[in-house]
Amino acid sequence: MSGHSKWAGIKHKKAVVDAKRGQAFTRASREITIAAKEGGGDVDGNFRLRLAVQKAREVNMPADKIQAAIDRGTGAGKGESLEELRYEGYGPVGVAIMVDSMTDNRKRTAAAIRHVFSKYGGSLGESNSVAWMFERKGVITAEVGDKDPDEIGLSAIEAGADDIQLDGATIEITTDPHSFESVRKAVAATGVAIENAEVTMQPRQTVPVGEDKAASVLRLLEALEEEDDVQQVYANFDIPEDVLERISTSV
């Protein structure tokens, strides 16, 4: 599994912990509101909303808060006026970074993100300066356990998966966003434990990062993640898995 994908799994586990202090709830709520505003409040008919609600449930967000977020998006409830903004830039050793945010004050958000890039050795770029290095993909990772990885892979391929990678006891499945839900259900039906499933921005190519620079890259990414208006951070680094596991616990 690539270092980028491993980091996604680590972030997912941290998100569950973050829910205890409310940050994950805020992010989930904002994503639900924007999704409902964009495509309506019908979970079955709005793919983005369905994914947002699924993520909210993963961090144990109460059903009434999920519904309140949907109501804000459809105009049935009161709430802040949000807009989506994307920032692009570079981190240490030329790692490309994209930051998706939701904010009610773009000046505040821009200033905060620019400050983080500068403080941690990065630089904020122009629009589309790095976006071309990424593509939207569904990524599902699962623990194989005692299941046959070939059968899991075959089920995923039959449901529309594009690529299957096996790394020890972990299988990583990549799919087109339109096939994501059907592939996720097919993988879950095999009985494996799904570690993480999301539609994300996958790097087309990665930048190798050695152990001497890995901590500085992760510090920048973590600082961006901690900003209140930030929803997602994407990067095209490739840090060896053992280094990533060791450093991510101390960053």
Please report where in the chains the tokens 């941290």 appear, as a residue: 14
Exposed (0-12), middle (13-18) or buried (19+): which is 100, by Cβ within 10 Å?
A: middle
What tokens appear for 144 in the block?
């194989």
- Give residue 85's pLDDT: 94
The region that residue 75 occupies, defined by phi over 0 for left and psi between -120 and 50 for alpha, beta otherwise, is: left
On the question of pLDDT at 215 being above 80, the answer is yes
Q: What are phi and psi of 42, to 5 degrees?
A: -85, 110
- Distance between CA atoms of 146 and 129, rounded to whole angstroms? 44
Q: How far, CA to CA in Å, does 43 sit from each of 54, 70, 181, 231?
A: 10, 9, 13, 20
pLDDT of 83 above 50:
yes
Predicted confidence at residue 133, as pLDDT, reads 95
Q: What is the pLDDT of residues 137-195, one digit of tens each?
A: 999 999 888 899 999 999 999 999 999 998 888 899 999 999 999 999 999 999 998 88
3-state secondary structure of 31: helix
- Overall average pLDDT of the 33-42 stretch: 90
What's the pLDDT score for residue 16? 47
pLDDT of residue 2: 52
How confident is the model at residue 77, as a pLDDT? 62
pLDDT beyond 80 at 3: no
Which residues, at least 6 apart from 191, have a Cβ–Cβ distance to it below 8 Å? 147
Region 28-46: mean pLDDT is 90
pTM: 0.80
Domains of the chain with CATH codes = 3-74 (1.10.10.200), 83-132+205-248 (3.30.70.980), 134-203 (3.30.70.980)
Contact assessment for residue 200 and residue 7, using Cβ atoms and an 8 Å cutoff: no
